[in-house]
Amino acid sequence: MTYTATLDVDDELTHYLSRLLAAERRRRLTPRGRRALTPFKQAVLGLRWFLDRTPIPKLARDNNIGRATGYRYIDEVIDVLADQAPDLHEALEDAAGQGAAYVMVDGKLFSTDRLGETTENKNGILIDRWFSGKHHTQGGNVLMITDPTGFPLWTSPVEPGSIHDSTSAQEHVLGALYWAYSELDLPTLGDGGFQGSGIGVFTPIKHSKSAPKGCPLDIDNKTYNALLRGLRALCERGFALLTQRWRTLQHITASPRKITTIVQAALTLTRHEHGKIH
C-alpha cells in the first residue's frame, strides 16, 4: 500500500538544499535529465534521512532507485551541506563581530556501530580505538564551539572515542582559541576536561593535589566556579539542537569517519533554520 506523509521542514530549507545539489551537478557537468531524481527530490530524500533516520534502502525503494544509488545520493547531500559549514576562524570572527563576550567549548560522543579497529594506549596495552572508557560505548568524539546562548558555531573533525576531549582540542581547536583571545579579546569557557588548556580558556578550579584531604575550596574560588558553571549551563543546548532535530545523529550506522561531515551537514541545516544563512 502507499501513503502520504508530511516532512517537518519549511519549504525554504528544501529549496536551499536543492539549489546546492543543482550547483553540484553543474560543477560535475552532469547532463540534464541523466539523474534518476531531480535535485528537489534528492533534497527531500536527504532531509528524510537526517530528520527521521529513515533507512537508506527504504528511501531508495520509495524513490524507485537502486540501493547503491540511494547511498550515493545521501553522500552527495552530506557533502554539499558540509561544504557550507564555517571554518573555525570564520566562526570566531563572526562571534566577535556579533558582540559575543565569550564562546564555549564542549565535546560529545556520537555513538556508532561496533568496530574492530584497535590501537595501543600510552601503557602499550591493545585497546578498542573507537571505544570510550568514559561513556562505555563505541563512538566518535566531536568538539563544538557555541556562542553565549549555546547556539552551535563550529564542529571539529571526529576523533575515535578513546581520544580525550583535551587531546582532541590540542589537535583541532586550541591554536585558534589562543588567537581569538589575543586578537579578538574573545575568551573561551570550558569544563574541567579542558583544564590546563592554556591562555584564554577558562575552566573550573579544582582542589590542589598538595591541599590537605577534605580541605574546602577558598570562597573566591567557589564563587568563580559557580559563576563559570552558570554561564556554561547553556552550552549543552548546542549538541541538543543538532541531535534532537536531526535524529540520524543519535546513532551513526555509516563509517565513523563520516561523522565529521554528517555533523557539519547537520550544523548547516540548523544554521539555515535559524536564519544564520540563506
Q: What is the pLDDT of residue 210?
A: 60
Listed range (5-9, 25-29, 236-240, 267-271) with the worst mean pLDDT: 5-9
User: How confident is residue 136, by pLDDT bands cut at 50, 70 and 90?
Assistant: confident
Q: 225 in helix, strand or coil? A: helix
* CA proximity to 249, closest of 106, 109, 110: 110
The cell numbers describing 158, all together, are 571526529
Is 213's pLDDT higher than 70?
A: no
- Give the number of other CB atoms < 10 A from CB of residue 225: 16
The cell numbers describing 71, all together, are 547511498
Contacts of 183 (CB under 8 A, 6+ apart): none
Q: What is the pLDDT of residue 214?
A: 64
The pTM score is 0.92
Helix axes 11-27, 259-273, angle to 10 degrees: 130
Average pLDDT score, the chain:
92
User: How long is the chain?
Assistant: 278
What are 17-40's pLDDT values in tens digits?
A: 999 999 999 999 999 888 999 999
What are 63-92's pLDDT values in tens digits?
A: 999 999 999 999 999 999 999 999 999 999
Please report, as a single letter, which amino acid is at residue 156.
S
What are 125-135's pLDDT values in tens digits?
A: 777 888 888 88
Phi, psi of 189 (to 5 degrees): -105, 130
